A and B are shown apart, each in its own frame.
Chain A
Amino acid sequence: MSPDDGMKGDRAEYTRELRGYILGYGLAILLTLVPFGLLNWHVLAEYGLYLAIGVCALVQVIVHFRFFLHIDPPRQNVDDLHLILFSALLLFFMIAGTIWILSSLAARTG
């Protein structure tokens, strides 16, 4: 898409959106390299490693939402945000509840 062959829409917006994708991709790569590197070279002890992997995953999920799915709270349609937050709440209850109940069951019967 060279500038010469003409473009639809606004040039400034194009530059801004292109930068967004490049920044998102760069951050995603960084947040992938860090946990793989930590694991591969055994930099951290067990719990520190689990924590670092979890934090990198959470930040990377947020990066994907922001830069690839274009979820940008102040500008976003409020219905979309409510749906995301409600789904996240359901996911939290279901996952935490499942792990809690099943591990308690395993501990009592194992």
Chain B
Amino acid sequence: MSAAPRLSHPGINLGPSHPETQRKSGELLFGFWVFLMSDAIVFGLLFATYAAMLHARAGGPGPQKLYDIESAFIETFALLSSSFTFGMASLALKYGKRQGPLIGWLLATMCLGGLFLRLEVGDFLSMLHQGAGPGRSAYLSAFFALVPLHGLHVLSGIIWMTALILQIRRYGVDREVKLGLLRLGLFWHFLDIVWVVIFSFVYLGGLA
């Protein structure tokens, strides 16, 4: 580990074999990191609201009745694995000379993200069918402010990934594409961290 080079920004550092990207990446990624930290504040406050409203159920259903542990478990695995496949895409970007593996890992990440969203939308629909929509109680308003906001972030990550794949096909892996992939990587891994907190405190904490 002692030979490891210094890191100029969060996330994977492309290093000296990508000189034209490495020169710009420090400042751009710091800016994106500021955005992510402000996004973390938004999620943090929605978590606090959820915690404060957890018992404000107005006679409506609670977590024990509404959450499905199996679905939460598969969603967690899909998102965790998608973080790993994005990591492999980052390595293919940094060390690979061809586009194939990079695009392959990005497509795998998109599929896992899509699976996550598919299951999550199923969860929300089943809650709505039980009459447990955001209008039912303060607890459910807080739930539907927090969890679907994370889902929307995942959806925007998938749209962003699609745009980057199209850019790779159209322009090749140029500097702009590399900088985009570095930022998307931070975004995607950040969303996984938010999900860790959601599955632990909302789902597991609610069912405990």
Contacts and interface: CB of A to CB of B under 8 A. Distances in A.
Interface residues of A, number: 55
A93 B20 CA distance: 41
Interface string A4-31: 0111110011101110010011001100
B157 interface: no
B83 interface: yes
Q: Tell me whether chain A's interface is mostly helix, strand or loop, or mixed.
A: helix
B101 A64 contact: no
Contacts, number: 162
B37 A53 contact: no
Contacts of B193: 61, 64-65
A49 B48 CA distance: 21
Contacts of A83: 30, 33-34, 37
Contacts of B97: 5-8
Contact residues on B (Cβ < 8 Å of other chain), bracket: 35 or more
B157 to A, nearest CB: 14
B139 interface: no
Interface in A68-100: 68-72, 75-77, 79-80, 83-84, 87, 90-91, 94-95, 98-99
Nearest to B72: A36
B180 interface: no
Interface of A: 1, 5-9, 12-14, 16-18, 21, 24-25, 28-29, 32, 35-36, 39-40, 46, 49-50, 53-54, 56-57, 60-61, 64-65, 68-72, 75-77, 79-80, 83-84, 87, 90-91, 94-95, 98-99, 102-103, 106
Closest 3 A-B residue pairs measured CB to CB?
Answer: A57-B200, A102-B52, A98-B48
14 contacts: A5-B98, A7-B97, A14-B95, A54-B201, A64-B196, A69-B189, A70-B13, A71-B10, A72-B4, A76-B10, A77-B6, A77-B9, A87-B37, A103-B52
Interface of B: 1, 3-13, 15-18, 26, 30, 33-34, 37-38, 40-41, 44-45, 47-49, 51-53, 55-56, 69, 73, 76-77, 80-81, 83-84, 87-88, 91-92, 94-98, 101, 186, 189-190, 192-193, 196-197, 199-201, 204-205, 207-208
